Amino acid sequence: MTAIERKFRNTGKLLSTSLLAAGMLAMPQAAFADGYKIGVVEQQLANPFFGKLQAAAVQRAKELGLSTMTAESTVAGDAASQVNGIENMINQGVKGIVLDPGSASALVPIVKKARAAGIIVVTTNTSLEPPTAADASYETDNFAAGVLIGQWAKAKIGANPRVTLIDYDLSDKTSKARHDGFLKGFGLSETSKEIAGTALTQANVDGGQQAMENLIAAHPDINVAYTINEPAAQGAALATKRAGKKVVFTSIDGSCSGVRSVVDGTIGATVMQFPSNMGRLAVDAIDKAVKTGEKPTGVNNSGTVLITDQPVAGIESKDSKWGLANCWGE
């Protein structure tokens, strides 16, 4: 306890000194705000999605003539490293922080502290709980993404749909939003009789495969599937292929591997999300706030595009060629 208090006190002291120093230094330069520093806090960079997001934010900052400092969590959900990173950034006198929160709640106190120190905090990819804990957020509207593939699947399959949903932990915000969006787009509820069965996976290839093997054994008439992400779709498609069944797969992410699965017909349609948009939009918002005083607000959609080579009337989509040119990761 005391150690933590001491740490905070020290941070506070450092903070006030550095703010004072920054204020004195900044005074003669106040006419032009260029060249200030921002922080970019990401989740574990082993995930190419986060890597792409961070690279885009740093690149955009460079274009605007800003310097950056970065920090990352080491594993999924590791908020502690992010808290340390933000503390360092506050000490360094950054004017804005782009944050991809590893936890919706654990980062709220440190973000509050940063904002109290006059720092603009913009979240990317996912927001805090409540979202207003940060100034603004730029993220994929996962519900809207789910609606898109739901609508597409309904139009594609026509009469007599037999639906399965291959999920990831539904207490996860993203997972739940995608799931609910798909049902909405397809015009289903949790209890609709068109749903043959559902399964929970780790959102990876082998999980998708095993889930679909079991589902198709029980319900050989399944003809359309929602999947939480593209690896799960690829695994599930392996199962239906081996069982000699034809199932229309839908997914969300827009990784390059996923788009290639759209090219070869394994996945019927996927929704691309845009990590680089998130990073760029977040930095632009911070820059605007610093230069004009106009702070960003709200949860803003960083873009969702339906990628399919089988377009249906009334639903806007791009083909897989466009998808390959705009995808992220390997």
By CB under 8 A, name the binding residues for another protein: 46-48, 74-75, 167, 197-200, 202, 204-207, 209-211, 213-215, 217-219, 231, 234-235, 238, 257, 329-330
- Tell me how far, at minimum, the Cβ of 23 lies from another protein, in Å: 41
- Tell me how far, at minimum, the Cβ of 169 lies from another protein, in Å: 9
- Which of residues 94 and 233 has its CB atom nearest to another protein in the complex? 233
| Phi-psi map region of 147: left, alpha, beta (phi>0 left; psi -120 to 50 alpha) | alpha
- Tell me how far, at minimum, the Cβ of 37 lies from another protein, in Å: 28
- Tell me how far, at minimum, the Cβ of 163 lies from another protein, in Å: 13
- Which of residues 148 and 199 has its CB atom nearest to another protein in the complex? 199
- Which of residues 95 and 260 has its CB atom nearest to another protein in the complex? 260
- Which of residues 25 and 218 has its CB atom nearest to another protein in the complex? 218
- Which of residues 96 and 207 has its CB atom nearest to another protein in the complex? 207
Q: Which residues, in sequence order, are CB contacts of 321 under 8 Å at separation 6+?
A: none
Q: Taking each helix axis as running N to C, give the angle between helix 108-116 and helix 79-91, from 0 to 180 degrees, rounded to the nearest 10.
A: 10
The answer to whether residues 252 and 232 touch, using CB atoms and an 8 Å cutoff, is no
Are β-strands 120-124 and 136-139 bridged in parallel, bridged antiparallel, or unpaired? parallel
131: DSSP letter? G
Q: How many other C-beta atoms are found inside a 10 Å radius of the C-beta of residue 116?
A: 10
Angle value at C-alpha 142, between 326 and 172, nearest 5 degrees: 125
- Tell me how far, at minimum, the Cβ of 21 lies from another protein, in Å: 38
| R_g of the chain, CA atoms, integer Å | 22
